[in-house]
Amino acid sequence: MFSLSGGKKIKAYVVLEDGSHFEGEGFGYPACAPCEVVFNTGMVGYPESLTDPSYSGQLLIQTYPLIGSYGVPPMREKDEYGLLRHFESDRVQVAGFGVAEMQKSPSHWQSETDLAGWLFRQKVPAIEGIDTREITKTLRSKGTMWGMIGVGDDLDLELLKLAAMEAEERVSADLVKGVSVTSPIEYDAHSKRTIAVIDCGVKFSIIRDLLSRGLNVLRVPYDSSAGAILRSEPDGILISNGPGDPARCARTISAAAELLETGIPMMGICLGAQIIALAAGAATYKLPYGHRGQNQPCLDLSTGRCYITSQNHGYAVDSRSLQGTGFKASFVNVNDGTVEGLRHEAKPIFGVQFHPEASPGPCETSFLFDEFTTEVENCRR
């Protein structure tokens, strides 16, 4: 088991912008980082969550008490499409990680390293031994908060508190730019049909789900113009998940507004669904503490069927603002009634707030990729 400083206990803090703090033991990389503090209720799937670009700029607190039991699989294994098999991107994306207890002796046949060693090599600070339940209760009562994580021998708690008050300004406003590709990447499924994926922080599982359905993928930067995307003559367009406030994605929203007028089949996932809504003239707002976990119930308004979904978002579409946009809500969250999906009333365009590709989580809604594929095929006839 890899240990920070040869097994010596290292002090660590999580400090919230309201001045409250939580002391624990550090693992991972000794560093301080400003962050948005959020919690995830998932019991498993930490390798996927930690590499999900949607968590960029955030300190991820796991509510499940013991994390790391099955270690970390190798980051060199790839699938038939050249994508990392066990992860959602090629690096850990979170600003920091917090758990009640980190398993120091993991056991799994695929495990290559423990959580502490992996996070150290990825230069990500982490903390254990904190009261994750109390942090979660604080966030649920006061809302998502900004803060700092600090891991190291020479931490100054008062300086961390001052830094936590300025964390929002220190975290990049253009988080999407930091997780998007800078030039197009092609993935070949040996098909005649190609999907342009606007990369706002796309998870590998989304690309894999498209390829497995016989669709080539052209992954383009988040700030690609509509003209540049259309010159590639895509048969469909998918706007991906990603981090931060969707309203900050001005170039993506502008391109999406033009693309909505073409009649090309479009699908949005998480941030992508919000961008479609904004491009159509609707509005978004920040949720009090977001939806992050693998057991969010969503109701399909067309069938009355409820699905258990994997989610990771802090913003939602204002249902009232959809009036006059041509879109209507297609899914709602059973817990709080928020919009979880939208669909155009006449065009082959839809978006969902949850993750049909799951990873981690249930795959009950993977049929949405089949529906998108059908729309693409129908438009080609």
Candidates 17, 249, 355, 375; catalytic one: 355
Count of positions (residues) in the chain = 381
Candidates 270, 313, 340, 344; catalytic one: 270
Strand 194-199 relative to strand 101-102: parallel, antiparallel, unpaired?
A: unpaired
> For residue 8, what pLDDT is reported?
76
CA distance 270 to 256: 15
Give the three-class secondary structure for 237. Answer: strand
Reply yes or no on whether 190 is catalytic. no
> For residue 379, what pLDDT is reported?
87
> For residue 381, what pLDDT is reported?
55
Helices (H), 71-184: 115-121, 132-142, 157-165, 167-170, 175-179
Reply yes or no on whether 88 is catalytic. no
Reply yes or no on whether 344 is catalytic. no
The owner of tokens 């590499």 is 51
CB atoms within 10 A of CB 103: 18
pLDDT tens-place values along the chain, 381 residues long: 334 545 678 999 999 999 999 999 999 999 999 999 999 999 999 999 999 999 999 999 999 999 999 999 999 999 999 999 999 999 999 999 999 999 999 999 999 999 999 999 999 999 999 999 999 999 999 999 999 999 999 999 999 999 999 999 999 788 999 999 999 999 999 999 999 999 999 999 999 999 999 999 999 999 999 999 999 999 999 999 999 999 999 999 999 999 999 999 999 999 999 999 999 999 999 999 999 999 999 999 999 999 999 999 999 999 999 999 999 999 999 999 999 999 999 999 999 999 999 999 999 999 999 999 999 999 875
| 312 φ/ψ sector (left φ>0, alpha ψ -120 to 50, else beta) | beta
Candidates 36, 48, 128, 357; catalytic one: 357
Could you tell me if 341 and 349 are in contact, meaning their C-beta atoms sit under 8 angstroms apart?
A: no
> For residue 9, what pLDDT is reported?
86
List of domains in the chain: 4-170 (3.50.30.20), 175-380 (3.40.50.880)
Give the three-class secondary structure for 357. Answer: coil
> For residue 172, what pLDDT is reported?
79
> For residue 2, what pLDDT is reported?
39
